[in-house]
Amino acid sequence: KEGQDESHPGSDEKGGELEVIEEGDADGISVHRIRSVLAAMPAFIDFIRDLFRSFHFKTIRCHLQLGLDDPSETAILTGRLWSIAAFLSYLGADIQIEPFFEEERLEGELLAEARMRPIRIPAAIISALREKEMRSLLKDAIGWGR
């Protein structure tokens, strides 16, 4: 079509790319929804941070033996879990993950002691809903105001 850039993802061709459209249609993502998500991102990050503040873990200990039917998939999954364990170890957790390559296996122990402040959860929700961008995103997600 005239006036459209063929290299742009929202162009006329649909060669496996996601089509960006102006209004909400089942075949693409509306520009309004993308803008709404991007505008609400800082408020959403604050909401998640406030939720995590309601929990304080005293102790986390985990010992896990993991084996899948394919040794290469066991290695890949174990590597991913080790990266998460390294982050949690930095926060004081004691996590041991042992790959088991001979057969399928999932055995382990988990001990976690935590303290929770439940009053912070509704406070985080109220704080998030005070942000115009979060209210707009929520209304858009549930279909109000269409």
Write down the domain spans for the chain: 19-53+119-142, 57-116
| pLDDT grade for 39, boundaries at 50, 70 and 90 | confident
The closest of 63, 118, 58, 134 to 92, measured between CA atoms, is: 58
Q: What pLDDT is recorded for position 65? A: 95
Task: Please say whether the beta carbons of 47 and 128 come within 8 A.
Answer: yes
Pairing verdict, β 19-21 and 28-30: parallel
Distance CA 56, CA 68 (A): 33
Report how far residue 51's alpha carbon sits from residue 46's, in angstroms, rounded to the nearest whole number.
9
Q: What pLDDT digit, counting tens, does each position of 11-26 carry? A: 444 455 555 555 544 5
Most confident of 24-28, 40-44, 71-75: 71-75
pTM of the predicted model over 0.85: no
Asked whether the CA dihedral 26, 32, 38, 39 is positive or negative, the reply is: negative
Q: With a cut of 90, say whether residue 116 has pLDDT above it.
A: no
How distant is the alpha carbon of residue 68 from its chain centre? 25
Predicted confidence band of residue 58 (pLDDT cuts 50, 70, 90): confident
